[in-house]
A and B are shown apart, each in its own frame.
Chain A
Amino acid sequence: MTKSASLYTESRKKEILSGRKNYLFLTLVMAITDFKIKYDNSILGYLWSLLKPLLMFGTLYLVFSVFVRWEVENYRLYLLLGIILWNFLSEVTLNSMVLLESKASILKKIYFPRWIIVIASSLTSLLTLLLNICVFFIFFIFSSAHLQTSALFLIIYLAELYIFVVGLALLLCSLYPKFRDIHHIWEVFVQLGFWATPIIYPISIVPQKYHTLIFLNPAARIIQGCRQALIGPGKEFLGLTNHIIILAVALCLFAVGWAMFSKLSRSFAEEL
C-alpha cells in the first residue's frame, strides 16, 4: 500500500458522507427482507421456528426437573429465559457469517458499507428475540412468579447483550472471508459456552472458586441479571458494578470488532 492509497480512502469517505444518506433505510429494508425470508412472510412461519427452541427447552426441562432436580424456584422460567438469551447470541454470531456469504454476489457488484449486512442480520435476530420474550411472558403469566419493578432492568440488559453480541459478530465476520472454517469453530465455542454458562443449572452447584471464571463471560452476567430482574431471587447482579463490568467488556469488544471489520471489509469483494 502506498501513501496515495490512503488518500483514496479519504476521498471515498467524503463521497459517502455527501452522496448517500440512505444507509439506515437500506439496513432496515435488509433486516425486514431477511425476516420475511426467514419466516416465509407469515406468522405461522414464526411459530414453526419456535419449535426448535421449545423442543430444546422441553427436553432439558424434562431431564433436569424429573431425572435431576435443581433447587431452583420457577425452574421453567429460569431455563426458558436462559435458552432464549443464549439462542440470540448464537443466532446473531452464526447467522451474520452465513449472511455475509449469501450476500457475496451483491458485495461484488454494488458498493454499500459492509457493516450494513452485520447490523441488518442482528436486527433480524433482535426481532426474533423480542418475539421470543413475548412467548416467555406467556409462560410467566401461567407461573407463580410476580412481576416486579426490577423487570425494567431487562431493557438495559438486552441493550448490553446487543452491543456485546454485535461486537462478536463484527469480529467473526471480519475474519470469515480469510478463514471460512471459523464458522464451524465458532459453533463448537457456542456449544462450549452453553455449558460453561449457568443456563440449565443454577450457579449454586458450581464451586465458588470457578465463579470468577464463569462470570468473565458478560453473557453469563447478563443472563443472571435478567433472571434476578424478572424472577428473582437475589440482587447481586442488579447492581451498578455488574453493569459497569458488562458494558466495559461489551464496548471493548465492539470497538475491536468495529475497527477490524472496517479494516478487513475493504477487501471483501475480492475474497468472498
Chain B
Amino acid sequence: MIALEKVNKIFRLPHDRRVTLRQRFVSLLKKNTYEELYALRNINLKVNEGEFLGIIGKNGAGKSTLLKIIAGVLEPNSGTVSVNGNIAPFLELGVGFQWELTVKDNIFFYGALLGMSRREIEQKYDWIIDYSGLERFVDAKLKNLSSGMQVRLGFSITVGVESPILLVDEVLAVGDIDFQQKCYNTFENFKKNGRTILFVSHDLNAVEKFCDRVILLENGELKFEGKSDDVLSRYKSPVNLND
C-alpha cells in the first residue's frame, strides 16, 4: 500500500546555477536569485494493494515528480510518504545499462539495481532471456544490440523483478506495435495477480482500458480523482476543468 500525506515538492530553479567553488567565489557579491516551482502541492493519495491507478495530466503537471517521490528518488519538502513493499520503477527502461558489458552481465547488474538478490536473478535468468527473445545475443556486448533489443531487454528484466509495486512512466511510447501489445498483455497479467501499478500515460485509451481509478494532476495539484471514464471525460473537455 502507498500513502502520501500533504506532500509538497518545490523545485528551486536558480537563474544562474552555481555548481563549482569558482562560480561561487566569482559571484560572491551577486545575489543568487531563483524561481520557485511547486512541482507538487499538498498531495494526499492512497493507493491500495492490487489497484491499477492511472495518473494523467498535461506536461509539467507533476506526474513524473509524483512517481519519483514514491520511488524514493526525490525527497518531498514536506509531507509524509509511506510505501509498503519493493518498488520496480519503469521510469525509464535501461537507465543502468552498461554498454561495454554483455547481455548476461547486464541482466545481473540491472537486476541487482532493481533490488533482486543473486538467487532471484539466477532463477529468473532463463525466463528473462526467453521473454526478451535474445537467446542468441547473451554474450554480445550491449552496445552492439539494436535499440529495439535493448528496450526489450530492459523491459524483460523489470518485469522479471516481480516486485509488488510497479511505477510505469510512458515506457510504451518507445516500442513498436508488437512490443506495446506484449506490454499490455503483461500489465493484464499483473492486474490479475493483484500487483499494484501506477501508470502515467498520455495514451488515454490505454488508461481507460486498464485503470480502475484515475487521478488528474494540474500544476502540481490533484484536481480530480475517481473512476477512469469520469476523470477522463473531464480531462478531455477543458471547460469542465474549471468547475
* B239 CB within 8 Å of chain A: no
Do B108 and A110 touch (CB < 8 A)?
A: no
Q: Bound state CA distance, A111 and B81, in angstroms?
A: 14
User: A37: nearest residue on chain B (CB-CB)?
Assistant: B100
Contact of B78 among A5, A11, A40 (CB under 8 A): A5
The contact size tier of chain B is 35 or more
Contacts of B82 in A (CB 8 A): 11, 15
Beta-carbon contact of A22 and B117 below 8 Å: yes
Q: Which of the listed residues A21, A25, A41 has the most CB atoms from chain B within 10 Å of its own CB? A: A25
> CB distance A37 to B76 under 8 Å?
no
Residues from 107 to 157 in A contacting B, C-beta threshold 8 Å: 107-112
Q: How many residues of A contact B (CB 8 A)?
A: 43
Given A8-B80, A267-B75, check contact A109 B19 (CB 8 Å). no
Flag A176-220 by CB within 8 Å of B: 1 or 0 each.
Answer: 011111100100000000000000000000000000000000000
Once A110-B114, A269-B74 are accepted as A-B contacts, the answer to whether A185 and B95 lie under 8 Å apart by CB is no
Check if B127 is an interface residue, CB within 8 A of chain A.
no
Q: Counting CB contacts under 8 A, is B205 at the interface?
A: no
A185 touches B112 (CB 8 A): no
Q: Do residues A37 and B108 form an inter-chain contact, with CB atoms below 8 A? A: no
Contact (Cβ within 8 A) A179 B98: no
Out of B6, B76, B95, which one reaches A106, CB within 8 Å?
B95
Asked whether B92 lies within 8 Å of A270 as measured between CB atoms, the reply is no
Contact between B98 and A20, CB atoms less than 8 A apart: no
How far is A181 from B23 in the complex, measured between Cα atoms in Å?
A: 9
B101 in the interface (beta carbon within 8 A) = yes
Contact A105 B100 (CB under 8 A): no
Which positions in B face A, CB cutoff 8 Å?
Answer: 5-6, 11, 19-22, 24, 68, 71-87, 89, 91-92, 95-96, 98, 100-101, 105, 108-109, 112-118
